[in-house]
Amino acid sequence: MDPLDKLEFSQARKKLHRTQQQLAELLGISLKAIHSYEQGWRPVPAHIERQIFFFLSKKNNDTSSSLPCWEVKQCGMKEECPAYEFSCGHLCWFICGTRCDCTEQLSAKEKIGICRSCDILKSLLE
C-alpha cells in the first residue's frame, strides 16, 4: 500500500484539529515539511505516517477494550513478539520487530504498508 498521499495527510491533520504549524511542532518537523507533504512535493516518510496514525488512534478510540493483536490474529508466535512482550497488542502496527504477517524482516515503510490494510489499525482509525 502506498504512503499517505497529500489529501490523506491534510485530512489527518484536520481530524487532529491542528494547524500546519501545530502539527509540525507535534511531529518535531519543520513547517516546510508539512507544506511539502500537503502539496505532494515530498512523500510522507513511514515514521511520520506511523506518528500520524498513533495520534489519530489515540484521539479516536479508547483502546482499553480492544482485543490484542495476538488474540485477533490467533498468533502462534506471540512469545517472540515485542507487542506481546510489552503488552501493547493494539499498537502492533506502531512497533518494529513484530511477528505478524511476516513483517519482522521488513523496513518501517514496508511494514506500515501492510499494517494499513490490517483490521487492528483500521479499527483504531475509524
How much is the average pLDDT of 37-41?
96
Q: Supply the pTM of this predicted model.
A: 0.77
What is the pLDDT, as a whole number, of residue 24?
97
What is the pLDDT, as a whole number, of residue 95?
84
- Chain segment 59-97, per-residue pLDDT in tens: 876 555 578 888 888 888 888 889 899 988 888 888 888
In angstroms, the CA 1 to CA 25 distance is 27
Q: Residue 41: exposed, middle, or buried by beta-carbon count in 10 A (0-12, 13-18, 19+)? A: exposed
What is the pLDDT, as a whole number, of residue 25?
96
